[in-house]
Copies of this chain bind each other. A is one copy, B any other.
Amino acid sequence: MRPLIAALLLGFALPATAMAQSVADLRNDAKTPGDVLTYGMGYNQQRFSPLKQINRKTVKHLVPAWSYSMASNYGEESQALVKDGVIYITSHDKTVAVDALTGKEIWKTTIEYPPETTKTVCCGIVNRGAALYEGRLYRTTLDTHVIALDMKTGKEVWNVKSSDTADGAAMTGAPIVANGVLVNGIAGAEFGVRGFLEGHDLETGKQLWRLYTVPGEGEKGSETWPNGGAKASGGSTWTTGSYDPDLDLVFWGIGNPAPWNPLDRKGDDLYTNSIIAFRPKTGEMVWHYQMSPNDPFDHDGVNALVQADLKIGGKVQKVVMQAGRNGFFYVLDRATGKLLAANNYVKVTWANGIDLKTGRPNWTIDMKSVIESASKISTWPSISGGTNWFPMSYSPLTGLAYVNTLDMGMEYQPLPIEQVQNLKTGQPHYGVKITNIYPESGNRGILKAIDPLSGKAKWQVPFKSANWAGTMATAGGLVFTGALTGEFMAFDSETGKMLWQFQTPSGIIGQPITWERNGKQYVTVTSGTGGVYVLKIPDANLAHVPPGGSLWTFKLMED
């Protein structure tokens, strides 16, 4: 027996220095399944694992290893991280370190924020995750603090306040560490926040730069707003971008303009509903691509940005792709932002396709009637989008993206322009009348295996309610995701056949991960319903789903 293996079998603890994740650790995260150091299971955010001990054949033996109570009735949207046998998980009011094999709490650090903070959180009292780097855990808080904790003890290393919650700002997304800088976004377009990204010094928390996502008066891009950008707001950045260390570019999805009502902001409204690429050291924007100019539908551009190497026209291209909230699946050259493909992956009625040359949508008559004459229309997808913030995954083995899509439309009409002309920051920025409409099938959610270049589904599985959870693909030929009715499920990545499920105590709106330790593969996910769909969209199918947060780890049953 070789010494290394002996050490593993004897369960020797790794030396303390093992905690110091390096730049290389982060860069290789997708290829080192013993840990999960990044949001997205790798800088490329593919949420794909090379692990295959749990596979199509063995998954039927998957059973809970342990469960840990999050002690909260708010939603649990966070993705867990794993390092050296410890799982790190965030929620709106705490950060917890749990022994990965036993489920025993190691430390818990609570967050106190003023109760009024929640008044300007539109869509759920949640947090989506953390970043790890060199022995520290970085996260944001609902009241817009960015904080660093010691990974061993949970003790706060630094804590900086970013914004004023009275202005409608909140933070719910996971930050990332890119090229030695902590990068985080902001939420609050629904309350007129002017969106931004910012970089913080990892050691001290000092703000290094701020990149506003809507230009100030007279700045570049302000010409796409009326009055030279005087009223530009929105463009929040409430999810997490992905990073390409070779190009040294961070890709980030930018949210909707404010208010939703488009009548008082005619023009493209840059950089709302766009994907932007920027330098993490400086915040310098390198390129942008806008999916929905002058968006009236809250079709946020924030959905997950997954990097992959795709064969296009016989040539392998480095792309970044997004299942857009507006219903189109976008594939961009990630070095330049050039549009390579854009096809609808759900029912879309606001645009007849995207012009590959200009990158612009071909508006339908319906869409024009909204912008030009404030008409009432029936349109697809709904305000919730073709999918929403919960991240898709991509398997390089199947070449498919696994997306919890939404099959919902809406009756929509902008309110008269007068109602949105004098909104103040911190007030609700809606100004529209919306009623959701549903397909006759009665299925609001469809898990799809989507070909990125055509937008077509190789297979699809319908669900009565929307699924509001992330997906994860594995080399074991599996796709994992969760239902709002609480089932944690595994599907065959080639056929969509459901191979396994387990009823967790509440609805699932989290993001599954998988990892290995001592030669054994595990799967971890949160249960705990919440989030905007559950809060705001009536769904009788969810009437009997209780709230209550918990963290779960599954393993293959021992013989």
Contacts of A221 in B (CB 8 A): none
Contacts of A362 in B (CB 8 A): none
* Copies, count: 2
Is A113 engaged at the interface, CB distance under 8 Å to the other chain? no
Contacts of A504 in B (CB 8 A): 67
Which of A43-51, A172-180, A298-306, A542-550 touches B? A542-550
Contact with B along A176-191 (1 / 0, CB 8 A): 0000000000000000
Contact, CB under 8 Å: B544 / A63:
no
Which of A102-110, A369-377, A418-426, A433-441 touches B? A102-110
Is A363 engaged at the interface, CB distance under 8 Å to the other chain? no
Contact, CB under 8 Å: B545 / A105:
yes
Query: Complex Cα distance A103/B544, Å?
Result: 11
Chain A positions 108-153 with a Cβ under 8 Å from a chain B Cβ: 108
Contact, CB under 8 Å: B108 / A544:
yes
Contact, CB under 8 Å: A544 / B106:
yes
Is A73 engaged at the interface, CB distance under 8 Å to the other chain? yes
Tell me how far the C-beta of A93 lies from the nearest C-beta in chain B, rounded to whole angstroms: 12
Is A68 engaged at the interface, CB distance under 8 Å to the other chain? yes
Of chain B, the residue at the smallest CB distance from A545 is B105
Q: In the complex, which of the residues B65, B66, B106, B548 contacts A550, with contact meaning CB atoms closer than 8 Å?
A: B548
Query: Complex Cα distance A546/B545, Å?
Result: 22
Contact, CB under 8 Å: B557 / A69:
no
Query: Complex Cα distance A293/B557, Å?
Result: 54
Q: In the complex, which of the residues B63, B73, B106 contacts A63, with contact meaning CB atoms closer than 8 Å?
A: B63
Contacts of A361 in B (CB 8 A): none
Is A70 engaged at the interface, CB distance under 8 Å to the other chain? yes
Contacts of A60 in B (CB 8 A): 558
Contact, CB under 8 Å: A503 / B550:
no
Binding site for B on A (CB under 8 A): 60-61, 63-73, 102-108, 485-486, 502-506, 527-528, 544-551, 557-558
List 5 interface pairs A-B (beta carbons < 8 Å), by A numbering.
Answer: A60-B558, A61-B557, A66-B503, A72-B548, A105-B545
Given contacts A67-B67, A71-B73, A103-B505, 12 further A-B pairs with CB under 8 A are A63-B63, A64-B502, A65-B503, A66-B502, A66-B503, A68-B505, A68-B546, A69-B505, A103-B486, A103-B503, A105-B545, A505-B550
